[in-house]
Chain A
Amino acid sequence: MKKTKRKKNIETRKHKALRRALICLGVLVIFSVLHLYTFTPMQGVRQSEAEAGTGQTYLIRHMGGEKWNERDYMTANENAILITRVTFYPLLGWSGRPFGILDCADGGDFQATSLVWRNYDDKANRCIICGRLRSREVMGIRAEGHWDEESEKIRTLPEVTISGGPEIWTEKDGWRYFFAESTVPDTENGEMAYPTEMTVTTLDKAGNPLRQYKGSTYERFIPVDEPQ
């Protein structure tokens, strides 16, 4: 028995909270679809995938960077391996940039590349060897970096080695992925030790060398015994 026309109801707390939560969710979805903000690091990885042109890749592993707002992601698919550096900016979200891209379409049982990243704060270079292989014999990777001396004087610069134990491996789809890194400090006279070429030796469980590969930084490693 309603005599008068009913006015608008007073909203309960529960109703208000659910309404606001729904709007928040809607805004999240819209901003994600329109690529206006990257809310999660994986969205940043998708961004990086699109820029590199690899197509959809799958997560192999992720590594926290030196700072809380920097992470590295290793993702791969049949034809490519991608290393993405994801950085959190409050106005953009988790922004992802391709850091290393490896075209694996040529095939082969050892698909790897080397990356060098300058760390200005510590005055050092971060050298990374990453990739994938099929052999179950390989237990370690030893890498040595070489670089050209551009000045007239000939100087002996220290070699860098990256060695890894079981912690560097991740298994997926029949491949064994690895990601090993080492930090190379600048020389005493403040010169950047930036290797232009790397040699990689795979080792078995006992530490005996199995096979050797060579490659310029950011390029594919090629077996040493094969003709170029």
Chain B
Amino acid sequence: MSAMERQEFCDRVLAKVRHATPKEKTAIRAELDAHMEDHAAALLEAGYEEAEAAERAMYAMGDPEEIGAELNKDYPLGWLVLSRVSLILTVLICATFLFSWPKLGNTLNSLQARIAPETSGFASTAKYTYERDLDIRAEIGGDILRIYKVGLDVNRDGETGNAALFFCNYSKNPFGYTADLMYLECGTSGIMESARNYDCGWCSGNAGAYYSLVAKIPVTRTDNAVVLTDDHFGKYVRLEVSVPWEDVT
């Protein structure tokens, strides 16, 4: 019976505390309850009957509504709002990760283009009779263009052939986006055309890095340098690649 009255006392106190969370309310209730229990136990030891001890202990607490009203001032809304808003926002943002985690694949692709482009799944699998690994890099805007291989197929006359350039393009920031290779031009002997006009002017990849192959570039033993240029937004880049004729027997 005494426990029920204590509970009613606490209920009346808590009714006045408007902005406490359930956890906080439980804590307040436990504290007030424990106090009354301790006091009642002390009175019991002093010789009072159980019922009277409980009643005296509760009376000694004071007016529950008054206690509640004063307690209410200690639980204002401000911090609670910040706490809840922060929590909700954090949860929502983290939830979007379930959707956006593939973007980290872009980063992996970007890193792979820096370290070992030829191993990437986006790299061309075309094979040439003569191949040479290269590492020629140039900065184009916020990206790096990297030529990592050159290939050569020789015609029957032994003097002319077709060359191919393997290259990739990745953003300087591994978490950033890479621009399309729209403006590249390729050619020999000063005759340049859009890289896309060449056979197999093929591009594959994602926002982390794009891989490209420009093939069937006609070359000869004497005219053996392939030039790659990019001229847009005021920045001119020129890369020259020697075709490996010296490997040809």
Contact = CB atoms under 8 A, between A and B. Distances in A.
Given a CB threshold of 8 Å, the question of whether A touches B is answered with yes
Interface stretch (B44-52, B57-65, B139-147): B139-147
Contact of B83 (A17, A37, A91, A92): A17
A54 B141 contact: yes
Nearest to A31: B93
A157 interface: no
Contact of A53 (B82, B101, B232): B232
Contacts, number: 103
Contact of A36 (B83, B97, B177, B180): B97
Interface in A68-120: 78-80, 90-93, 103-105
A54 B233 contact: yes
A217 interface: no
Contacts of A52: 179
B90 A53 contact: no
A24 B232 contact: no
Interface in B87-118: 87, 89-90, 93-94, 96-97, 99-101, 103-104, 107
Contacts of A21: 82-83, 86
A192 interface: no
A56 B142 CA distance: 9
Contact of B90 (A27, A47, A50): A27
Contacts of A50: 142, 171, 176-179
Nearest to A48: B177
A28 interface: yes
Contacts of B27: 10
Interface in B138-188: 140-143, 171, 175-180, 182-183
A54 B89 CA distance: 33
B233 A80 contact: yes
23 contacts: A20-B82, A21-B83, A24-B87, A27-B90, A27-B94, A31-B97, A34-B103, A34-B175, A36-B96, A50-B176, A50-B178, A51-B177, A53-B143, A53-B183, A53-B233, A55-B233, A78-B234, A79-B233, A90-B96, A91-B99, A92-B99, A103-B232, A105-B233
Interface of B: 27, 75, 79-80, 82-83, 86-87, 89-90, 93-94, 96-97, 99-101, 103-104, 107, 140-143, 171, 175-180, 182-183, 207, 232-235
Given A34-B175, A47-B177, A91-B100, 10 more contacts: A13-B83, A31-B96, A34-B107, A50-B142, A50-B176, A50-B178, A53-B140, A53-B142, A91-B96, A104-B234
Interface of A: 10, 13-14, 16-18, 20-21, 23-24, 27-28, 31, 33-37, 47, 49-55, 78-80, 90-93, 103-105
